Amino acid sequence: MTQYVYLFRDADGKNKAKFGGKGANLAEMTKLGMPVPPGFTITTEACTKYYEDGEKIAPEIIDEVFKTLEILEKETKKKFGDYDNPFLVSVRSGARASMPGMMDTILNLGLNDVSVEGLAKLTENPRFAYDCYRRFIQMYSDVVTGVEKANFERFIDEIKEQRGVKLDTELTADDLKVLIAEFKKFYKEKVGEDFPQDPKQQLVGAIQAVFRSWNNARAITYRRMNDIPSSWGTAVNVQSMVFGNMGDTSGTGVAFTRNPATGEKKLFGEFLMNAQGEDVVAGIRTPSSIDKLKEINPEVYDQFVGICNKLENYFHDMQDMEFTIERGKLYMLQTRNGKRTALAAINVAVDLVKEGLCTEQEALLKVEPKQLDDLLHPAFDKAVLKKSTPIAAGLPASPGAACGKICFTAEEAKERVKAGEKVVLVRIETSPEDIEGMQVAEGILTARGGLTSHAAVVARGMGACCVCGCGAVEIDEETGICTIAGKKYTKQDVISLDGSTGNVYEGSIPMVDPDTSGNFAKIMEWANKYKKLQVRANADNPHDAAVAYNFGAQGVGLCRTEHMFFEGDRIAAVREMIVSSTVEQRKAALAKILPMQKNDFIGIYKALKGYPVTIRFLDPPLHEFLPSKEEDIRALAADMGIAYETLLETVHSLHEMNPMLGHRGCRLAITFPEIAEMQTRAVIEAAISVNKDGGHVKAEIMIPLVGDVKELAYVKKVVVDTAEAVMAELGTRVEYKVGTMIEIPRAAITADKIAKEAEFFSFGTNDLTQMTFGFSRDDAGKFLGDYYKKKIFESDPFAKLDQEGVGELVKIAAAKGKATRPDIKLGICGEHGGDPSTIEFCHKVGLNYVSCSPYRVPIAILAAAQAAINNPQD
Amino acid sequence: MTQYVYLFRDADGKNKAKFGGKGANLAEMTKLGMPVPPGFTITTEACTKYYEDGEKIAPEIIDEVFKTLEILEKETKKKFGDYDNPFLVSVRSGARASMPGMMDTILNLGLNDVSVEGLAKLTENPRFAYDCYRRFIQMYSDVVTGVEKANFERFIDEIKEQRGVKLDTELTADDLKVLIAEFKKFYKEKVGEDFPQDPKQQLVGAIQAVFRSWNNARAITYRRMNDIPSSWGTAVNVQSMVFGNMGDTSGTGVAFTRNPATGEKKLFGEFLMNAQGEDVVAGIRTPSSIDKLKEINPEVYDQFVGICNKLENYFHDMQDMEFTIERGKLYMLQTRNGKRTALAAINVAVDLVKEGLCTEQEALLKVEPKQLDDLLHPAFDKAVLKKSTPIAAGLPASPGAACGKICFTAEEAKERVKAGEKVVLVRIETSPEDIEGMQVAEGILTARGGLTSHAAVVARGMGACCVCGCGAVEIDEETGICTIAGKKYTKQDVISLDGSTGNVYEGSIPMVDPDTSGNFAKIMEWANKYKKLQVRANADNPHDAAVAYNFGAQGVGLCRTEHMFFEGDRIAAVREMIVSSTVEQRKAALAKILPMQKNDFIGIYKALKGYPVTIRFLDPPLHEFLPSKEEDIRALAADMGIAYETLLETVHSLHEMNPMLGHRGCRLAITFPEIAEMQTRAVIEAAISVNKDGGHVKAEIMIPLVGDVKELAYVKKVVVDTAEAVMAELGTRVEYKVGTMIEIPRAAITADKIAKEAEFFSFGTNDLTQMTFGFSRDDAGKFLGDYYKKKIFESDPFAKLDQEGVGELVKIAAAKGKATRPDIKLGICGEHGGDPSTIEFCHKVGLNYVSCSPYRVPIAILAAAQAAINNPQD
């Protein structure tokens, strides 16, 4: 029989899949002899079973829970619902991957009308006991029955008014008793039954609520954003309560073994005396720095520092810990590898290696590739910054720089960003409902809350710039005005945030390119040492090619030639080509484009300094180069000196029902081989020119949208004939290859045949995803929302490669391609090429390279290194 | 070393792939001791090599030809280019499958200024010799150098005028000498060199011309129409000449052992005395019936009848033969299985079994499934026909009935048919250039030519109705008027042709359903006995379902429910549903559709009498139900009593960039599960209602456009929950299954997972073809023409399943589906379901059924039987 419930001391601390991150680490700390309040973990398997059983907890699991509970009761000599020595517990979720703020927690479970009296007597602190009880009722109502916590606040406000006091802490034990009676009455009204007095009933309700919360909307969104499969489920941790709110010798706090913003090796954290855990995180009272603890209770401080060191040495990583001091005694409630900024991540990783705490490979695994993004984007120009005066300052919660118009709600942020604006989200404090708005905003500014407040934690996780606890900010949502240090700002005003200093500026401050030297360069050096995949970039012009080269790209994996066609005077020649009615006219127009295209290639070749450049021939349907509105067509016709009707006819003849599935890609070159001839000539002439200047160009001509080998053979013949002619003309040879995109399912299925002609394959996973799923990116928006809501899709297949379907086609094609041509070069150039999970997939499938946008090159390099480290080959 | 050249007596008569049909049968006849002029065959492998070598004949093949030629010269004691005894040959193409009129032929090769004199002396007939020479020059110029035959006609016209004569035959030997001199001069002018006097050079030129003609435009078109791969190539047959134009004891003719129009067992054919082969087929002179030969030369006639019988017994099939009589001696030039009408095909097949000449299985293989089409389409209403007076009568060349407007050229026919007209092609005579026009016309009427004229042969092959040799027809293309029996008709006048009687009628005559009893029923009975695949029909209404049942369908494989949505008052309710803004509104609108949809299903279930009915749930994007033009939107808004802006907004919100890849199929049911609920209710309520009247409904609910098992699981749950609720309400159960279309590549790739939910798969090969190739049927027209021209595609992937790509996905899906669910039912319901080559593929892959349009059911049954016979299982 499967065991679903384990005491901390019996659980396997290495098995996070089973016990969740929190449960596993509680087990580890218990075994290390640290002061952990006793408790047990209900495994993630129980959660999975809960959903399999139609959202019911199996009776055998409930039995197991109660049996394990009895053991704890015996050991602690406390009893559930007891007057003499009541047993109280906390119930917390704990998934395999940390999901901060996403799951619900219940404290003080076990309190009822009897045990609350016992607690009062035992602690000789009735006020404390009744405060616990009223908090418990509120939290339980919220989490288990869905009657929101806020509903209860008006009773508190009323009684404070009656008593003429301002703070909750000013309410007496008797006030709280009155409040409890009111709470229970309200509960019965809302829920339709009495507030449960049986602690076992309370416990089952709480466990169920944790399981249920695994599938709340916020959790689903978070999982989608972080690539966490819904099948994992969450564990539940039930732990004896310890109290940070038992008076002035009690307290609670959170701390990091190093600074999570900078990586500096110095204990970093905050605590509040006479408070429970949620008070610190919620940002209602502003906590003290951890250093202060030394003054308040030096023994506990030293003990804590000792534990911190021990934990870091044990886990070989920076720890993020929660602790409680109950009447002067320290308890550890949680430890985990701390979330950190990108800057902190690379600094910690390099430091840990220096300190001998881990190897280079291990260090590389500690940096989240996606996070590097924060370091790769522009920061404020320091010269300008020096001259600028901040209008206010808050806490530097998450580094980076942000400029944008002021925006007060997450909803509004989403809408305005969709409409093309850049916004800074300004909130009193943030809550989990704000996550999507935080995601799209340039930066986040909050009026309240510390460095471990919701805004700070979430922004760091996202790599979003955040300044929090900026008391100078007052918000009036109704008038749409906020006052910063006395001056009024509307939604049309732009502010700038510096997440590294906490400074807030009026207007927009120019940004500069990021610094990628120092520890960043060290991480890249290690990553390059261990990765097997080559990393190339998608670059359509010399500037992007240079950026890519500087970021360490080993070539261009995709140069989209059509982007060059849109520029200035070129579009005129392109349009002339399109309206041509004879091959001769078309060739004349193409001749005008040739020198410009050749120059582009020269610039790109030079920027790459001998690394290969994959040039994709013209891909989009020709109508993309023409206007569609009557007035625009009229204007263009006048411009081109042709009749409106003639141009209109061309526009009509090019109209397509399904442009995605129309006359594009190699189909264009088959109809108009002269286009491929011109492009080949530009590729080869440019290469010859650069080689003359001492270059060593490796040109790779890529034919798009091939579905049948005969298509490729036809266009390849045009390319090779032209290339040979150009080289003969100019009396010299250059190195070039001809290959194809694999972006049509049929190409993948018949890759063995296509490889007879193709010297390389580049997987165009954007189109391949569209064709394989049978939906277009443009149109899928209409239903993908329902798909996420109904849990049909868990992640966006255009961001994270669908390994089961599209990936299977990639695998098939790679295998078939190699079977025909063992040395075939294989790469990927869709937008997936910069996604770490896709990169790992590419590594496993045995591709030679990935190609992504220039700014993602370092991310891809690190992800490629991690893939190699995580998948050692024999 | 590969042997490329074989004497007829050394060739393998069973190996048509190597020797072509003509060569193989010449070998067979030679071995049977029949009077075949000696010769040799150059294999199809030589043709393939010719193209592999860049359109060059390898020197070793030329050597082999000359060596083989020497053997013939020795045996016949004749010599190439000799004065004393000149050796003359014919050079003909001969592909594996017969391609009438598609390939070029050269007669009298070997003639030059010397040998023509020898021939004159030897035959004591100078006129004959010079006539041969001038014909040879004309033909050689045309075929080898591309200087068209017609260029020479003016010289003939001139000399006839000079001499004051009307017929070619009135020209004297001296006249012909003059003509030959003029021809040679003209040849030199056009070609730039003298007409070749070296017969060996002539021979190499002719062989090359045959190889080249394999890839002329007509041949490519014919191959595409008949699914012949271009890789087969053609053989070349070089044969000693015999002369049907050596005077009145010579002649030439073609004959069938049975009547190719009706199948009647009676020698059928035509001949011309003092003529060469081309004269009979070209329709210039009207030939005599083969019976007349008995009077002219009874010995030869008897010998010929004996040969006919021997050939039929040997080949177990009706033969189509060419013969020549040279000075009273019979020579056999060719035999092959005769092309025949569908009627003849089934009659011959049944007769051959009765006569003990073949087995039922062999007989089934002799009927071309596609041909049955002719018998399945309406013929003229006999009652009306009796009362109608024909305006003219020609030869009943190809049976069937046709009504349409008069049209004079193939080009015009193509254009007018494209524009939606029905036309009858009226020509003096037809030529290979007319094939595409003949294909699209309802019927063909010619003024000249016999039953074996080009028009007659091609029309029979196509199953097109044809009346030929109708002398009453005079055509004036310029004025656009034709006179039939003295009355003038314009292009706007409709005529009717009866291909079974040869009668031509004015106006349009009503048609009746075909008769499928008698030998047709016998063929179907045999086919049903041997086939393994079930054959179902695609039917969206009770009428089509009844037609399908009567044609022998074993169920409905695809009932498209959206077609029902477009009818009369339904569309109003559908539109009401689409503009609904709440689920309640939508449900109210759906409730109006429910009873109508239920009635449709009742009608279809009843028509099928217990056979399964696969009902596909709503598939098309919703915008298809709304108008798109402003005036129509305004009118509809007024009709619906809603604001124009409201409706316009709905229309806009439903607009899609790529409707093919948009919000359709199961995606609709996921967004609007209430649609699937209504449809399920209609399916189940209808089934319960029919079962109450003694029916045994087998309903199969098919969810379209599934790409991921979770999509299917979601919709299936809606279906099952609804079905169970309906059955519980009505207190009875019905048999139903839930399955899916496999029409998206991802569905095929993940079929093992999808089969966990799907009880059946139906391959929707229309969409699967579009997604797999990445082009839409609507848009592919723009480039597919170029694809055929450039030999990238050889057949239309929407008509004939692409087995290499799409078929591979079908195979993968079938295997994966069976791996998960061994008893999964597999079918195909795309338009490919009626295509014989696709049916054979489905048989091999192990599908359970194919589904096609009702009128194609017999074709599919026969094709399924042939597939089973051709692919016997262990």
**CB–CB of A744 and B802 under 8 A?**
no
Residue A764, marked binder: yes
pLDDT at B874: 53
Q: What part of B 361-380 touches A (C-beta under 8 Å)?
A: none
Cross-chain CB nearest to B661 (options A658, A792, A802) = A658
Tell me the percentage of chain B whose pLDDT exceeds 90.
68
Residues near B33 by Cβ (< 8 Å), separated by ≥ 6?
none
Q: Mean pLDDT score of chain A, rounded to an integer?
A: 91
Q: What single-letter DSSP state applies at residue B144?
A: I
Lowest mean pLDDT: which of A462-471, B122-131, B458-467, B488-497?
B458-467
Task: Note the pLDDT of residue B521.
Answer: 95
Nearest chain B CA: its distance from A840 CA (Å): 21
Mutate to test the interface with A, among B749, B752, B777, B803 (most CBs of A within 10 A): B749
User: What mean pLDDT is predicted for residues B673-699?
Assistant: 97
Q: Give the tokens for residue B258.
A: 């049975």
Is there a contact between A814 and A849 (Cβ–Cβ < 8 Å)? no
Residue A774: CA atoms inside 13 Å, Cβ hemisphere, count? Answer: 28
Kindly tell me if the per-residue pLDDT of B285 is higher than 90. Answer: no
Question: Annotated binding residue at A766?
Answer: yes
Nearest to B772 among A658, A659, A746 (CB): A746
pLDDT, average across residues B562-587:
86
Identify from B666, B667, B721, B757 which residue to disrupt to test chain A contact, counting A C-beta atoms within 10 A and taking the largest count: B667
Predicted confidence band of residue A785 (pLDDT cuts 50, 70, 90)? confident
Q: What single DSSP character describes residue A165? A: -
Q: Is B745 on the interface with A (CB under 8 A)?
A: yes
C-alpha span between B392 and B379 (Å, rounded): 19
Residues in chain B within 8 Å Cβ distance of A774: 661, 705, 707, 743-746, 767, 771
Cβ-Cβ contacts under 8 Å, A656 against chain B: 778-779, 782
Interface check for A721 against chain B (CB to CB < 8 A): the answer is no
CB B340 within 8 A of CB B46: no
B788 touches chain A (CB under 8 A): no
Whether the CB of B801 is below 8 Å from some CB of chain A: the reply is no
Q: Are B792 and B727 in contact (CB under 8 A)?
A: no
The pLDDT > 90 percentage for chain A reads: 67
Least confident interval from A665-669, A766-770, B282-286 = B282-286
User: Is A805 close to B671, i.e. CB distance below 8 A?
Assistant: no
Of A169-178, A443-452, B220-229, which range is least confident?
A: B220-229
In this predicted structure, the answer to whether residue B251 has a pLDDT above a threshold of 70 is: yes
Give the closest of A743, A786, A806 to B670, CB-based: A786
pLDDT for position B762: 98
Nearest-by-Cβ selection for B745 from A656, A714, A772: A772
- Classify burial at A314, counting beta carbons within 10 Å of its beta carbon; exposed 0-12, middle 13-18, buried 19 or more: middle
Q: pLDDT band at A461, cuts 50/70/90?
A: low
**Residue B251: in which H helix or E strand, if any?**
strand B251-256
Nearest neighbour of A750 by CB, restricted to B744, B770, B804:
B804
Pick the residue from chain B with its C-alpha nearest to A713. Answer: B792
Angle between the N-to-C axes of helices B44-52 and B16-31, in degrees from 0 to 180, rounded to the nearest 10: 150
Report pLDDT digits (tens) over B368-414: 998 887 787 668 887 888 889 999 999 888 878 999 999 999 989 99
Token reading at A573 = 């020649």
Residue A276 confidence (pLDDT) above 80: no
Q: Is residue B829 among the annotated active site residues?
A: yes
3-state SS track over B728-772: HHHCCCCEEEEEEEECCHHHHHCHHHHCCCCCEEEECHHHHHHHH
Does the pLDDT at position A102 exceed 60? Answer: no
Least confident of A806-820, B67-81, B456-470: B456-470
For residue range A617-664, list pLDDT tens digits in order. Answer: 999 999 989 988 888 899 889 988 899 998 998 898 898 889 999 999
Q: Answer yes or no: do B774 and A802 touch at CB < 8 A.
A: no
Residue B103 pLDDT: 60
Beta pairing, strands B39-42 & A612-616: unpaired
Mean pLDDT (whole number) for A192-208? 95
Q: Is A616 annotated as a binding residue?
A: yes
Instruction: Read off the tokens for B752.
Output: 């093992």
The answer to whether B658 contacts A804, with C-beta atoms less than 8 Å apart, is: no
Collect all residues of chain B within an 8 Å Cβ-Cβ radius of residue A753: 804
Q: What stretch of H or E contains B105?
A: strand B105-109
Model-level pTM?
0.79
Summarize the confidence of residues B586-591 as an average pLDDT: 94
CB-based contact, B312 to chain A, within 8 Å: no
**Residue B656 C-alpha, separation from nearest chain A C-alpha, in angstroms:** 6
The answer to whether B83 faces chain A, any CB pair under 8 Å, is no
| CB contact residues (below 8 A), chain A span 606-665, against chain B | 656-663
Environment class of B277 (CB within 10 Å of its CB; exposed 0-12, middle 13-18, buried 19+): buried
Residues A592-617: tens digit of each pLDDT: 999 999 999 999 999 999 999 999 99
Given this model, what pLDDT does residue A25 score?
A: 96
Which residue is closest to B666 within chain A, CA to CA?
Answer: A783
Q: What is the pLDDT of residue B373?
A: 77
Give chain A's end-to-end CA distance (angstroms, integer): 37
Q: Which of A454, A623, A832, A843 is catalytic?
A: A454
Starting at the edge strand found earlier in the chain, the sheet holding A494-498 runs A392-393, A503-506, A494-498, A401-407, A423-427, A443-446, A465-468, A395-398
- What letters, b where the CB count within 10 A reaches 16 and e where it falls short, cover B506-533? beebebeebebeebbebbbebbeebbeb
Interface test with A, best of B661, B766, B795 (most A CBs within 10 A): B661
Tell me which of B619, B666, B743, B746 to substitute to probe the interface with A (most A C-beta atoms closer than 10 Å).
Answer: B746
**pLDDT (tens digit, 9 = 90+) per residue, B425-434?**
999 888 877 8
Give the model's confidence band at B480: pLDDT under 50 very low, under 70 low, under 90 confident, else very high.
confident
User: pLDDT confidence of B180, banded at 50, 70, 90?
Assistant: very high
Task: Compute the mean pLDDT over every residue in chain B, rounded to the nearest whole number.
Answer: 91
- The amino acid that residue A535 corresponds to is V
B163 marked among binding-site residues: no
pLDDT of residue B640: 86
CB atoms within 10 A of CB B357: 16
How close is the nearest chain A Cα to the Cα of B768, in Å?
9
Neighbours of B794 (CB within 10 A): 18
**What pLDDT shows up at residue A377?**
67
In the prediction, which pLDDT does A104 show? 65
Report whether pLDDT(B859) > 70: yes
Chain B touched by A793 (CB under 8 Å): yes
Per-residue 3-state assignment (H helix, E strand, C coil) for B259-315: CCCCCCCCCEEEEEECCCHHHHHHCCCCCEECCHHHHHCHHHHHHHHHHHHHHHHHH
User: Does the pLDDT at position A367 exceed 70?
Assistant: yes
A48 is in an annotated binding site: no
- In one-letter notation, the amino acid at residue A47 is C
B767 known member of a binding site: yes
Question: Which of helix, strand or coil describes residue B425?
Answer: strand
Residue B153 has pLDDT above 70, yes or no: yes
Catalytic annotation, pick one of B403, B465, B470, B829: B829
Distance CA(B378)–CA(B380), nearest Å, equals 7
What ipTM was reported for this prediction? Answer: 0.78
Burial class (CB in 10 A: 0-12, 13-18, 19+), B66: middle
Looking up tokens 């021997």, which residue turns up?
Answer: B310
Q: Is B670 at the interface with chain A, CB within 8 A?
A: yes
From chain A residues 378-417, the ones with a CB under 8 A of any chain B CB are none
| Whole-angstrom distance, CA of residue A594 vs CA of residue A674 | 12
Kindly state the average pLDDT of the residues A763-779: 93
Check residue A433 and give its pLDDT: 73
Q: Using an 8 Å CB-CB cutoff, list chain B residues near A714.
A: 790, 792
Q: From residue A625, how far is each of A595, A646, A656, B666 by CA, in Å?
A: 19, 16, 14, 35
Residue B336 φ/ψ region, left for φ over 0, alpha for ψ in the -120 to 50 degree band, beta for the rest: beta
Q: Report, in this order, helix, strand and coil percent for chain A, each rounded to 5.
A: 50, 20, 30
Residue B295 · residue B462 · CB < 8 Å: no
Instruction: Tell me the pLDDT tens digit for each residue of B494-535.
Output: 999 998 889 999 999 998 777 788 999 999 999 999 999 999
Q: What is the mean pLDDT of residues B648-675?
A: 92
Contact A791 B746 (CB under 8 A): no
**Per the residue annotation, which of B454, B623, B832, B843 is the catalytic one?**
B454
Looking at the predicted structure, is the pLDDT value of residue A219 above 60?
yes
Residue A368's CB: how many other CB atoms inside 10 A?
20
- pLDDT for position A283: 57
The mean pLDDT of A189-217, rounded to a whole number, is 92
Residues of chain A contacting residue B782, judged by C-beta atoms under 8 Å apart: 656, 662-663, 671
In Å, how far is A82's CA from the nearest CA of chain B? 47
Which pLDDT score, from 0 to 100, does residue B61 have?
A: 96
Characterize the bridge pairing of strands A329-337 and A319-326: antiparallel
Calpha distance B110→B502 (Å, rounded): 43
At A566 the pLDDT is 76
Q: Which residues of chain A are within 8 Å of residue B753 when distances are taken between CB atoms?
A: 804
Q: Is A559 a catalytic residue?
A: no
Per the CB < 8 A criterion, the answer to whether A586 and A534 are in contact is no
Residue B708 sits at the chain A interface (C-beta within 8 Å): yes
Q: Which of A8, A35, A18 is nearest to A321 (CA)?
A: A35
pLDDT band at A215 (very low <50, low <70, confident <90, very high): confident
Placement of tokens 């032929």 in the chain:
B105
